[in-house]
């Protein structure tokens, strides 16, 4: 639920766009945090480097490169009603995020060797997802947003819906 990154192209893997929704900010109980409750998350800018490292930046904060956790401490986390396993990325990034968001939180990463299946009622038996709400791709069209905004008193921007394909 951090700020989005515009990509001219992307590589697609088994869980969707490679690197997308691979990390998640959670509270002390492992419950995911969102911009709905923590609006400042939208100001955190993640950037995936060419060598696969995650860089975080935010106003008034020093840039931080997240080095993948060496110990690979696994924790249970929640995304809506789903429980799954994650790798805690350690205290340095937890302190950075907690200071900026003014809330105790941690950064977790979806393990390469884990599988979170998509709801079989809406997908094939082998379809999987990382930390996305429920599906690998969230598609939105400009025409749909225009139609919605014609019905609203105050128009909404596309990034409000956090699609990964527009």
The model carries a pTM of 0.89
Say how many CA atoms lie within 13 Å of 45 toward its Cβ.
10
Nearest to 67 by CA among 43, 44, 93, 101: 93
Contacts of 27 (CB under 8 A, 6+ apart): 33, 103, 104, 105, 106
pLDDT digits (tens, 9 = 90+) for 56-97: 999 999 999 998 766 668 999 999 889 999 999 999 999 999
- pLDDT value of position 45: 96
Token output for 62: 């020093």
Would you say residue 115 has pLDDT above 70? yes
């Amino acid at each position: 639920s951090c700020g989005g990154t515009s990509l001219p192209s992307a590589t697609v893997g088994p869980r969707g766009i490679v690197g997308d929704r691979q990390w998640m900010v959670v509270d002390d109980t492992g419950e995911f945090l969102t911009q709905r409750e923590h609006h400042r998350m939208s100001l955190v800018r993640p950037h995936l480097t060419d060598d696969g490292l995650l860089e975080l930046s935010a106003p008034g904060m020093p840039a931080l490169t997240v080095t993948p956790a060496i110990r690979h401490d696994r924790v249970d986390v929640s995304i809506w009603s789903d429980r799954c396993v994650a790798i805690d990325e350690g205290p340095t990034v937890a302190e950075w995020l907690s200071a900026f968001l003014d809330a105790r939180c941690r950064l977790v990463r979806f393990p390469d060797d884990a599988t979170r299946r998509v709801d079989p009622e809406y997908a094939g038996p082998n379809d999987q997802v990382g930390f996305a709400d429920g599906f690998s791709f969230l598609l939105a069209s400009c025409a749909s947003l225009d139609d919605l905004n014609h019905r609203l008193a105050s128009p909404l921007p596309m990034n409000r819906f956090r699609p990964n394909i527009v």
